[in-house]
Structure 1
Amino acid sequence: MKIAIFGGSFNPIHKGHILIAKEAIQKLNLDKLFFVPAYKSPFKKNVNYVSEVHRTNMINLVMEEKMYLSTFELNKKNISYTIDTVKYFSQKFPNDELYLLIGSDNVNNLNKWKQIDIISKLAKIVIFERGNKYQKINIKKFNCLKLNNSIYPFSSTDYRKGNLLMVENIVQEYIGANFLYFDEIAKNMMSIERYKHLKFTADFALELAKKYNFDIQKAYQAGFMHDIAKEWDEENSYNFLKKYGYSKENLPFYKLHQTVGYFYLKDVYKYKNEDVLNSIKIHTSLKLDQLSILDKILFISDKICQGRKWGGIQKVRELAFQNLDEALKVVIQKCCIEYNNNLGKEITSEQWEIYNKLLK
C-alpha cells in the first residue's frame, strides 16, 4: 500500500488541510493518508494549542475517504519529532511505501530536522506548495518530491487572527460550542485596551457569579465576549446587520455594537448559549422585560470592573457583592443618567422608561 503521513498542529484543521490531503491522495495514488496532530512542535514552542481532544474531534469531523487519524504523537505527550513518527509508521507498515507530506514553508529548515537523513530513507518526502519562496538545495539533498498542488489561501494562523471562514462550517460549529480560540481571536481583532477591558469584565463577572451562586462559565464568557464588536466602525456595523433587517432608521447607535456582537457571536463564531447571547444583546441598553441575574452581572461588571475609574466606584464594587439590585441602581444612575447628562447626550424616551422601572 501507499501510505502518507500528514503531520501538523491542526490548530484548528482548516479547509486547506483537507484540500491538500485530497490532492495528495489523488496525485500519489494513496491508499491511506494519516493526519498526525502534534502534541507540540519543536518549532512552535510558544504556540498555545487547544487540547488534543478538541483537535482530534475537529479532524474527525472533516475527514473524507481514505483519510485516517493517528494519535501517535499525542499519546507520547512530549515534544514531537518527525523521526519518531516516521519510525513508528515504518514499523507499523513494514512492507508498505511511506510518504511524508510537508509544506514548502518547511523546506529551508529541513537540514535542521532531527535525523533528517534517516527520515528521507524511511519515507519519501513530498513537498506541497504554500506560496512561499524557498531554496531547492534541500529538495535535492533529501530527494524530495514536489506535489505541484494548487495553492490554497488558508491557514490556522489567519483563523486565529479572526478570519473564521478558514474552517469548514462544521468545525466552526464545534469551536463555537466549545468556546475555543476566542482569546486569540479577540486579541487579534481589537486594541489591547479593549482586549484588557474584556478580560477585566470577565474576571469581575466571574467573581460576582461565585457570590450569587450563578454559573461561573456563563458569567465569564459573557464578560469576555460582550464588546467583541465595540471597535467596528459604524458603516461596517450597519452593513453587517442589513441581512437581519436592521438599519440606522430602526436601530439607534447606542444599541449598535451590542446587536452586532450578538449576531456575530451567534452566526459567525457560532456560539450556542442563548442565555449569554441574550445578555450581550442588551448589555448597553438593558430592557423593559425582567432582567436575568446574568443580565445584571454583565451590565454591572462592564461598568465597574478593573480599569474603570469614576468617583465612588470602589464603594459600588463593594455594594455589588452585598446587594446586586442596589448596585444595579447606582450604576444606572452614575454610568447612564449622570454620564450622559454630563456629556450633553440625549437619553431616549425608551431608555428613560427602562431606567425608571429599574430605579424603583
Structure 2
Amino acid sequence: MSLPPFARGMRIGLFGGSFNPPHAGHALVCELALKRLGLHRIWVMVSPGNPLKSRQGLPSLQERMAAARKIMRDPRFVVTGFEAEIGARYSFQTVDFLRRACPGVHFVWIMGADNLAGFFRWQRWRDIAHAMPILAIDRPGATHRAERGQAATWFARRRLPESQAKTLPLRRPPALIVLHGPRSPLSSTQLRAQKRR
C-alpha cells in the first residue's frame, strides 16, 4: 500500500475527484484550503471513477494522475491513486480506511460547493460527516444550491463561521465550513465538452 507520507498530529486535507481533466480551479481550491485551514498537506485523491457518473471515455488513472501532477505544483499537494489500490468505490470506504490506517492524523474532507449540494446522494454521507470535518469551497453557480440543499440543512447547527477555519482540522465532527475566496470559472465538464467540439 503506497499511502503518501504522514505523521501523528498532521493536519491533512483530502481532495478527491475524477480530475477529468484537472485544471487550475482545482489547484486554487487546494491553495485556499491549505492557507485558510493551516494544513500541512493536501492529498489530491484521483479516484478510479465517480459512482454517480458514467466512466465511458474516462482516461486511465495513470493519465489523470500525471495530468494532476502538472497542475498541482506545490510540494505540499500530494497526488495519489491509493483509492484504487484499496478497492474503494465510495468515499465512505476511503474515510473508514484512513481513520484505521492513520491514527492521530487530523483529516479534513474538502469538496466544492457543487458537491455539497449533492452530498445527500452519496453512499452513507452521514457516516462521512460523522467521521471527519468537512470544508466546502464556494464555486460559481453552486452557492445557492449548496446553502439550501438537504445536506446544508442537516449541517445547520454544526456549521462554523469562516473566521474559525483554522480550528476546523481539530474540530470534533460533524463540523462544516463553507469557505469563500477567489473563484475559478473552469469546470472539467466544460473542458471535456470543448475538447469534443
Identify which of 124, 131, 139 aligns with 2:152: 139
Residue 39 of structure 1 pairs with residue 48 of structure 2:
yes
The residue aligned with 2:24 is 15
Map residues 117-132 of structure 1 onto 2, 5 A cutoff. Answer: 117-131=126-140, 132=142
Query: Matches of 2:25 and 2:78 in 1, distance apart?
Result: 17
**Secondary structure of residue in 2 paired with 1:161:** helix
**Secondary structure of residue in 1 paired with 2:100:** helix
Greater relative contact order (Cα 8 A, min sep 6): structure 1 or 2? 2
Once the two structures are superposed, residues 111-168 of structure 1 have per-residue CA deviations (whole angstroms, 9 ceiling, x without a partner) of 2221222211211111111122311552252432112232211111121222xxxxxx
Residue 48 of structure 1 pairs with residue 36 of structure 2:
no
Query: Matches of 2:118 and 2:149 in 1, distance apart?
Result: 11
Change (3 A) 1:47 1:128: farther
The residue aligned with 1:107 is 116
Once the two structures are superposed, residues 48-98 of structure 1 have per-residue CA deviations (whole angstroms, 9 ceiling, x without a partner) of 2101111111122232131112212222466x2110111122223221211
Once the two structures are superposed, residues 2-50 of structure 1 have per-residue CA deviations (whole angstroms, 9 ceiling, x without a partner) of 1110001011110100111011100010011001111111111255210
The residue aligned with 2:191 is 159
Query: Matches of 2:80 and 2:97 in 1, distance apart?
Result: 11
Map residues 117-266 of structure 1 onto 2, 5 A cutoff. Answer: 117-131=126-140, 132=142, 133-134=144-145, 135-142=148-155, 143=158, 144-162=176-194, 185=195, 188-189=196-197
**Secondary structure of residue in 1 paired with 2:66:** helix
The residue aligned with 1:66 is 76
The residue aligned with 1:348 is none
Query: Matches of 1:96 and 1:129 in 2, distance apart?
Result: 26
Change (3 A) 1:91 1:104: same
Query: Matches of 1:68 and 1:110 in 2, distance apart?
Result: 24
Amino acid at match of 1:147: L
Q: How many residues align?
A: 164
Instruction: Flag structure 2 segments of 5+ consecutive residues without an equivalent.
Output: 1-9, 159-175
Output the aligned Cα RMSD: 1.8
TM-score by length of 2: 0.76
Tell me if the contact between 1:20 and 1:149 (Cα under 8 Å) persists in the aligned partners: no
**Secondary structure of residue in 2 paired with 1:57:** helix
Greater radius of gyration (CA): 1
What is the aligned-residue identity percentage?
25
Amino acid at match of 2:71: V
Change (3 A) 1:12 1:77: farther
Query: Matches of 1:62 and 1:75 in 2, distance apart?
Result: 23
More strand per residue: 1 or 2?
2
Map residues 331-342 of structure 1 onto 2, 5 A cutoff. Answer: none
Structure 1 window deviating more from structure 2 (3-12 vs 62-71): it is: 62-71
Tell me if the contact between 1:13 and 1:58 (Cα under 8 Å) persists in the aligned partners: yes
TM-score by length of 1: 0.43
Instruction: Flag structure 1 segments of 5+ consecutive residues without an equivalent.
Output: 163-184, 190-360
More helix per residue: 1 or 2?
1
